[in-house]
Structure 1
Amino acid sequence: QLMRKLFRQLDVLSSFHYVPPAPELEVEVQKVDEKAFTVEEVTPSATSETALLVPEEVYASQRRQPKGDSEKTKEERATERQMKKRIKRRQKREKEANQKMVERLNPGKGNPYAKKKALEELEKAMGKEGSRVTRAKETDTTSYGNSAKAFSQLEKRKSEDPKSRKRSK
């Protein structure tokens, strides 16, 4: 220790540029009369307040204890069914409101809701008796592997439905 101090002073005297000595670390141990788990923090230092909440504080608690299907009375089943219907009606109203908003912003056949509505109207028309509307995707199941097969299927269709043939002049 004394030698280091002497060498440092000699270095200071001999060199023109003064270089300060490196700082020495001083470690102090303090004794605290507390238990380890009271001193140490349980939660990490970088947590939000919501992460510290228990699920009962975050989610709305139910008013009653949950029951199985066999334990429910007739009235409880009816109220549960009404709740489900109410939720579905609310979702349907929200969906329709969104559709109306999109139709206002993008009128015409450009928006997907208008296309879907037109398809639904066509399907309703198909359901009525006497309508001649059919969907091409459902009826066109032919595979055009080779020409002979395709022409034989055309001949078969022609022979099955004689009313659809037009007279040629």
Structure 2
Amino acid sequence: MSEPTPPALDRTQLGAYFALIEATSLLRHAVEQQLREAGDLSYVQFQLLARLGDAPDGSHSMTELADGVVYSRSGLTYQAGLLEKAGLVTRAPSADDERATTVTITDAGRGVLAKVFPGHIETLQEMLFATLDADGTRELERLLTPVVDHMRALPPRSAKRRRAGSR
């Protein structure tokens, strides 16, 4: 009995995949370096602070943060703990659900965001948007939005059934 032929990508799909991976890797590296130098923040810590900074009351539950940031729950809890230790956020039991934890950005956290944002924007302009005009930027958003929406609609890895014998 012959082995089934594995699915394949055509040249265009493979080229698009490699271009996307390389672009995101290069951009992420530059952003992480800028955040570390300007505010001693990891990328995930910046994401947490930015989401909290954008919230009307400066707060989100850990569940809401986990839904928005692609990171493990235990890793997210650890990062929030580091931010709390640095005085950039506070964590407290939720007033609405005693099982939930609410994270709130502090004035110091807003100060760190204000410090890192100019360089962050400069890095994005230089690395991502320098070769795109307004139409190209809209096209990039048009292409990536349905991909992100599709990926977010799939069940998380932790919710998928495991095959017997796999870990």
Using structure 2 for the length normalisation, give the TM-score: 0.25
Using structure 1 for the length normalisation, give the TM-score: 0.25
Larger Rg: 1
Higher strand share: 2
